[in-house]
Amino acid sequence: MIEKQRVYPYIPNSDPGTREAMLRETGVRSVEELLKDIPDALRMKGKMNLPEALPAEADLKRHVEGILARNITAEECLSFLGAGCYNHHVPAAVDEIIGRSEFLTAYAGEPYEDHGRFQALFEYQSMMAELLDFEVCNVPTYDGSQAAGTSLRMASRITKRGKVLLAGNMNPDRLRVVRTYLDPVLVYEKISWSQETGLIDLDDLGSRLSSDVAAVYFENPSYLGGIEYRGEEIAGMAHEAGALLVVGVDPSSLGVIQPPSRYGADIACGDIQPLGIHMNYGGGGGGFISTKGDPVFVEEYPSRLFGIAPTSEGEWGFGDVAWERTSFANRETAKEFVGTHAALWGIAAAVYLASMGPKGMADLGEVIIQRSLYARKVMNSLPGVSTERLSNVCFKEFVADFSGTGKTVAWINSELLKRGIFGGKDLSGDFPELGQSALYCVTEKVSRQDIDRLVSVLEEIIG
Amino acid sequence: MTDKTRPFHQMRWNEPIIYQKSVPGQRGILIPEVEDEIRTLVGDGISSIPDTVRRRDLPNLPEMGQPQVVRHFNHLSQENLGADSNIDIGQGTCTMKHSPKINEIFARSPKLADLHPLQDTSTVQGILEIFFRVGELFREISGLDCCSLQPGGGTHGVLALASIVKAWHRDRGEDEKRDEVITTLFSHPADAAVPKVKGYKVIILPPDEEGQPDLDAFKSAVSDRTAAIFFTNPEDTGIFNSRIREFTDLAHEFGALCCYDQANANGLLGIARAREAGFDISFFNLHKTFSSPHGCGGPATGLVMADRRLAGYLPVPVVKRHEDSGLYYLDWNLPKSCGKVKEFFGVAPVVVRAYAWIMALGADGLEEASRTAVLNNNYFMKKMLQIRGCSLSYPNHPARIEQARYSWEKMKDDTGFGTGDVQRRIADFGTHYWASHEPWVIPEPFTIEPSESYSKEDIDEYLDIMARISRECYEDPETIRNAPHNSTVHHIDHDYFDDPGKWAITWREYNRKYDGYFNRR
């Protein structure tokens, strides 16, 4: 079982002639001699029982594409799903750039031979900071949930306090992840939210604020779609109690909605997936954390932060700022941890933001809000359907309550699916207080015709 | 032997910062226009935004036409090497290898890219099948029983493991007592950093004289306070810890769980597994051993495999298959689950690439990959040690698995040049070289990992580059001192990264601090 005769295209030295020459020059008779440190008892007995290989590329292609063909995509249907992952248009230029092998296949090169990725990610940080009106942004974390969890831990380290207050209307999937990051070092309490407005209850927030609260966290727009307009008031309350304000924000809204920095947030965080990254079945996430330039904040980031520096010949040079913070430099005394996260998505977002420009982001926000307003309006005219159960002003998502139809969201969605439509995310599991409600998402890709089709199909289903 | 080093110059575009290329009024892409009927019905939309949060200014983003955007980022990509363009064996521990091109076709397929994670499972049977099949393949690869694909990287895999450990001991009422984790100095830094985040006190075992984790130190460290051990094996010295079973057995005697960091498993496929070594949980980096490209640092996957006793503690949801219908589904019903580490279910394009890579090779091919990686490493080592000024850590232990940590200590003593100098100079030859994880321990270290993707000729060329740089250190100090010469940029002033008064993390911060080219305001 030692040296096999098959030659593998991915393994050039598998050819027997080369193999012989290398063994000879290494001074051994077989690879076995090089493995003698591994005791017999630990050696695998026999061969792994894996399916038969598909060494010919043509066979592999047929096999894998055959499996993938069983998927039905959001492009092949009409999708109103959002809830943390968004079907925005991905500019072709983005796919072109991040598909370039110089970026795709690079890893942790140094600023001398991988200058390009340092500059591209420095530019990513720079554009994100402008969008967020802050001075610092990190190289992406795994996703918006890690960004939120880490932002809260940063706030805890800065304030030296151990409790955080989380908006009761936050994204439940994100909450599950944030809890992993808080546990067991930080405790949290949920701020209750109003079932009339869909926004958090400021009286409840006030009663929970105390000298042990490190941070207040809410999302804007909220998971239920509403735009929080009392940011300044919330920031005032948090700051008066000595806590920081951390706001999770949808970056696609920032052409038309104020960034959290403008209403007093200390840390803004979120996910860059809406900025030119395919949904990838939820694998397109990349987290951002953004703050002012105060070194007290900078020193608490666990992430890579690429900075700019002069070179001996007057070029733009780049490198890691405050490396000693990171777990690469200081294992168990680091600020949390850093590793391989989502850098390529950061480059994607850089190409996206440079393509969009200031006007593009404003246009995007405007068309989204117009079309979602339209959808909310026309859906509300359906018998038994209310999109006004929550009175909040929305950006791209809103709650549609189907309770009045006597049907469940699950049933309605299965009927929609039969007609080629992915209905909104069923909220009855995570938010039972909303009855049979669904979260509908309208991006710039959903046209008036699409919305009218949804309405006419719903009309038919609900009868 | 003829010197294979070649005259090289990396692309040098002197590319301006993107903001310097902005021309007011230009557009890179247009957004769909809203329909007249909608405008008539809802107006401009933005007036509905409450005044307190309506943004009335435009964000300061660059304004560029599409050709200029594409050219700018193409220039930046050309100023980056990537594994496709270089003999990337100098990034030890990271298993740089070829990412087959056919796998990119799969990863970028609309059949994958355009799936929403909350779609009805009847519409995502293809991707769920691949997730499920990958779990099945890894049962054989690891010897363990159940799988989670959620973690978005190796360090994230450690977080999942540490979270599972916590959930397990909590369930047994032992979490309060078990507040310690034991790892080793040559394990990945994450094995120390991440358990700390989960509230554990971390004990780090030093290497013994042979470079193996010190068993006596372990015996005095392990106790009923030990929640888990987090070990890499082989460590980044490339030395296989042949007594690993003594460590795992002893840890089990004290009721601890044994966690295996197999981020890099490239020397062991089909040869030695987590199960036989006594580990309860392990994670594998699909972007390392299993060929998904590294993307300048992610997206990635740290696939978790666990013993069946730990099945209920995995992150939710897990992918399962209905026995009767054969349909795949997401199982959220794990009441003892450690929770979630990532949004949704995992990084699907990375999982699909790994699946395709394993299927192309099969059991024989995986083993061939590992055996070749081991041979490549030992071949390289034999030749590298003939180069002046270079030595091997723990020289009494000659054979290594898939990588080795070397030292330029002698060259540093002889010439004053060490590993950082080699790193600067090697950029002049169109390749890359990394020192080693910190703390260095071995003076002036570097870690080389010539995975199975590199041919004998590739390895010989890299060796010639190393030999030439060593020669220059001894004979031509000026060349080294002023390196790099043929790179995209010249010597970078590192004071600008550690001094808060000087650093600038964004272009905005740069413009607040500086005018022109680094003139202080």
Angle at A5 between CA B377 and CA A29, to 5 degrees: 45
- Is the model's pLDDT at B440 over the cut of 90? no
Angle, helix A343-380 to helix B66-78, in steps of 10 degrees = 150
Residues in contact with B254: Cβ distance below 8 Å, sequence separation at least 6, in sequence order: B222, B223, B224, B226
- Chain B within 8 Å of A351 (Cβ-Cβ)? yes
DSSP state of A177: H
pLDDT at A71 over 70: yes
User: For the segment A14-48, what is each residue's pLDDT rounded down to a tens digit?
Assistant: 999 999 999 999 999 999 999 999 999 999 999 99
pLDDT single digits (tens) B114-157: 999 999 999 999 999 999 999 999 999 999 999 999 999 999 99
Note the pLDDT of residue A156.
98
| Among chain B residues, CA nearest to A91 | B29
ipTM metric: 0.98
Residue B28, chain A, CB below 8 Å: the answer is: yes
Residue A3 confidence (pLDDT) above 50: no
Give the length of chain A. Answer: 463
Give the burial class of B23: count Cβ atoms within 10 A of its Cβ; 0-12 exposed, 13-18 middle, 19 or more buried: exposed
Beta carbons of B493 and A310 less than 8 Å apart:
yes
If phi > 0 it is left, if psi is from -120 to 50 it is alpha, else beta; for residue B461 that is alpha
The residue among A323, A283, A334, A309 whose CA lies nearest residue B295 is A283
Q: What is the dihedral of CA A158, A159, A164, A169, to 10 degrees?
A: -70
By the 8 A CB rule, do B87 and A289 touch?
Answer: no
Greatest alpha-carbon pair distance for chain B in Å reads 82
Assess contact for A69 and B111: CB atoms under 8 A: yes
Q: For residues A90 and B114, what is the distance between their CA atoms, to the nearest angstrom?
A: 10
| Count of beta carbons in the 10 Å neighbourhood of residue A1 | 9
CA distances from B505 to A126, A306, B48, B498 (A): 8, 6, 36, 11
Q: Which of A4, A173, A341 sits opposite B153 (nearest CB)?
A: A341
- Contact: B362, A114; criterion CB under 8 Å: no
Domains in chain A and their CATH numbers? 1-43 (no CATH), 78-86+358-462 (3.90.1150.10), 92-353 (3.40.640.10)
Q: What is the pLDDT of residues A334-353, one digit of tens each?
A: 899 999 999 999 999 999 99
If you measure CA to CA, which chain A residue comes closest to B212?
A: A37
Cα distance between the two ends of chain B = 56
Q: What is the pLDDT of residues A320-332, one digit of tens each?
A: 999 999 988 887 7
Cβ of A100 within 8 Å of Cβ of B77? The answer is: yes
Residue B183 has phi, psi (to 5 degrees) of: -135, -175
Asked whether the beta carbons of residue A104 and residue B82 sit closer than 8 angstroms, the reply is yes
Contact A332 B244 (CB under 8 A): no
Task: Give the rounded percent of residues in chain A with a pLDDT score beyond 70.
Answer: 99
Q: How far apart are CA A140 and CA A276, in angstroms?
A: 14
Residue with tokens 């009409």: A78
pLDDT band for position A2 (cuts 50, 70, 90): very low
Rounded Cα distance between A175 and A144, Å, is: 11
A1, pLDDT greater than 60: no
Strand-pairing partners, residue A425, are: A439
Which residue in the set A120, A122, A393 is minimally distant from B73, CB to CB? A120
The per-residue pLDDT for B395 is 86
A406 contacts chain B (CB < 8 A): no
Give the closest-approach CA distance of A11 to chain B in angstroms. 5
Nearest CB to B490; choose among A315, A413, A422: A315
Q: Are B84 and A105 in contact (CB under 8 A)?
A: yes
How far are the Cα atoms of A229, B251, B268, B290 from residue B248, in angstroms, in the given order?
A: 56, 5, 18, 26
Whole-angstrom distance, CA of residue A318 vs CA of residue A340: 19
Contacts of A463 (CB under 8 A, 6+ apart): none
Contact present, A45 and B274 (Cβ < 8 Å): no
Mean residue pLDDT across chain B: 96
Of A259, A205, A257, A197, the C-alpha closest to A236 is A205
Classify A246 as helix, strand or coil: strand
Put simply, whether A162 touches B (Cβ < 8 Å) is no
Report pLDDT digits (tens) over B205-252.
999 998 999 999 999 999 999 999 999 999 989 999 999 999 999 999
Q: What is the 3-state secondary structure (H, E, C) of B391-452?
A: EECCCCCCCCCCCEEEECHHHHHHHCCCHHHHHHHHHHHCCCCCCCCCCCCCCCEEEECCCC
Domains in chain B, CATH or no CATH each: 18-78 (no CATH), 121-359 (3.40.640.10)
Distance, in Å, from the CA atom of A346 to the CA atom of A273, rounded to the nearest integer, reads: 9
Q: What is the pLDDT of residues B250-302, one digit of tens each?
A: 999 999 999 999 999 999 999 999 999 999 999 999 999 999 999 999 999 99
Report d(CA B93, CA B274) in Å as an integer: 18
CA–CA separation, A345 vs A277, rounded Å? 7
Rounded to the nearest 10°, the torsion over CA A232, A234, A236, A240 is: -170
In tens, the pLDDT along B350-387 reads 999 999 999 999 999 999 999 999 999 999 999 999 99
State pLDDT tens for residues A97-153. 999 999 999 998 889 999 999 999 999 999 999 999 999 999 999 999 999 999 999
Is the distance from CB of B232 to CB of B188 less than 8 angstroms?
yes
Instruction: Please report, as a single letter, which amino acid is at residue A250.
Output: D
The kind and range of the H/E element at B366 are helix B348-384
Interchain contact, B506 vs A110, CB within 8 Å: no
- 3-class DSSP state of B62: coil
Residues 272-311, chain B: which have Cβ within 8 Å of A? 272-273, 276-277, 285, 287, 291, 293-300
CA angle A97, A103, A104 (to 5 degrees): 90
A163: pLDDT strictly greater than 80: yes
Q: How many beta-carbon pairs under 8 angstroms link A with B?
A: 751
Q: What is the pLDDT of residues A352-370, one digit of tens each?
A: 999 999 999 999 999 999 9
Contacts of B296 in chain A (CB under 8 A): 103, 106-107, 114, 117, 121, 343-344, 347
Task: State residue A95's pLDDT score.
Answer: 98
Would you give the distance in Å from CA A48 to the centre of its chain?
Answer: 36
Tell me if B52 sits within 8 A of A232, measured CB to CB.
Answer: yes
Across the beta sheet with B201-205, what order do the strands follow? B146-148, B302-306, B281-285, B257-262, B226-232, B180-184, B201-205
Q: State pLDDT tens for residues A133-145.
A: 999 999 999 999 9
Q: Is B38 within 8 Å of A228 when comparing Cβ atoms?
A: no
Q: Can you tell me the distance from the alpha carbon of A397 to that of A85, in angstroms, rounded to the nearest whole number?
A: 12
* pLDDT for res B170: 98
Q: Does B26 contact A at CB distance below 8 Å? A: yes
Searching chain B, which residue's CA lies closest to the CA of residue A68? B126
CA-based nearest residue to B141, from B3, B22, B318, B276: B276
Say whether A313 and B113 touch across the interface (CB within 8 A).
Answer: no
Q: Which are the contacts of B381, defined by CB distance < 8 A and separation ≥ 6?
A: B392, B400, B404
**Residue at A177: amino acid letter:** V
Would you call B515 an interface residue with chain A, using a CB distance cutoff of 8 Å? no
- Quote the tokens at residue A458: 């719903």
**Contact A193/B at CB under 8 A:** no
| pLDDT at residue A451 tops 70 | yes
Residues in chain B: 521
Q: What's the pLDDT at B2? A: 77
Give the rounded distance of the alpha carbon of B47 from its chain centre.
Answer: 46
